[in-house]
């Protein structure tokens, strides 16, 4: 079957991209291979590990289970979008300070998920943090440092919320 190319527009980290995609290309594939955004990675390709997490219209989703064509017109934030000018976001600093990664492979998914949680719920309890992280897999840290980093970063998000 000759596959028709579908023209789509994606706003990734504030920048607009016009790309042509095949129907069977996932958002993960297009971000990595057509837009060259390499923080988004694929491992299980079936929605289990969360390494491919991006924020799609403000919500954390696993981009291996999103067709690029489905995302036409969407706003997407990847890890790169949290530090657009090279200055790390508080959640990124907290991950470094608490040693919340070793190999770093899964880290983008964890940081984006934590950023989403704290933006919406800066007073999230440890139980709520654990619940939200349950769809992500880290094989190095044992999660403890990740949870500590998220709890530590919460104060910056609370301050941000008070300023608004």
Partner 1 sequence: MAASKSVLVFHTLLPEFEYFRPKTLQEALELLDKYKGDARILAGGTDLLVDMRMRIKQPKYVIDIKGIDELHTLKYEEGKGLTIGATVTLDELLNNKIVKEKYYVLWDAIRQLADTHLRMKATLVGNICNASPAADSAPALLVLKAKVNIASVNGTRTVEIKDFFKWVKKTILEPNEMVTSIFIPEPPEGAKGRYLKFVRSAEDLALVGIAALVANPKDPAKRIVRIALSSVAPTPVIVEEVEELFKQDKPLSELAEEAVKLVMSKVSPITDVRATKELREHMVEFGTRYLLKTLLEG
Q: How far is the CB of 35 from partner 1 (least distance, A)?
A: 18
| Nearest residue (CB) to partner 1, 58 versus 104 | 58
Q: Which residue has the tokens 């934590």?
A: 114
Nearest approach in angstroms of CB 62 to partner 1 is 5
Q: Which residues contact 93 (CB under 8 A, 6 or more apart)?
A: 153
The burial of 114, by beta-carbon neighbours within 10 Å (0-12 exposed, 13-18 middle, 19 or more buried), is given as buried
In the list 10, 29, 79, 149, the residue contacting partner 1 (rule: CB under 8 A) is: 29
**Which residue among 19, 34, 35, 48 contacts partner 1 (CB under 8 A)?**
48
**Tokens in use for 112?**
């984006």
For partner 1 (CB under 8 A), the number of binding residues is 34
77 is an interface residue for partner 1 by CB under 8 A: no
Q: Is residue 48 classed exposed, middle or buried when 0-12, 13-18 and 19+ CB atoms within 10 A define those classes?
A: middle
The only residue of 19, 35, 65, 152 in contact with partner 1, by rule CB under 8 A: 65
């Amino acid at each position: 079957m000759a596959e028709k190319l579908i023209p789509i527009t994606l706003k990734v980290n504030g920048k607009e991209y016009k790309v042509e995609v095949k129907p069977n290309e996932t958002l993960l594939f297009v971000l990595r291979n057509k837009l060259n955004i390499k923080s988004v990675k694929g491992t299980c390709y079936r929605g289990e590990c969360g390494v491919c997490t991006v924020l799609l219209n403000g919500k954390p989703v696993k981009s291996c289970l999103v067709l690029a064509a489905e995302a036409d017109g969407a706003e997407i934030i990847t890890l790169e979008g949290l530090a657009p000018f090279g200055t790390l976001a508080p959640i990124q600093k907290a991950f470094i300070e608490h040693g919340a990664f070793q190999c770093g492979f899964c880290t983008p998914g964890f940081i984006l998920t934590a950023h989403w949680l704290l933006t919406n719920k800066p007073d999230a309890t440890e139980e709520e943090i654990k619940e939200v992280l349950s769809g992500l897999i880290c094989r190095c840290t044992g999660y403890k440092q990740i949870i500590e980093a998220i709890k530590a970063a919460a104060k910056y998000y609370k301050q941000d919320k008070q300023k608004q």
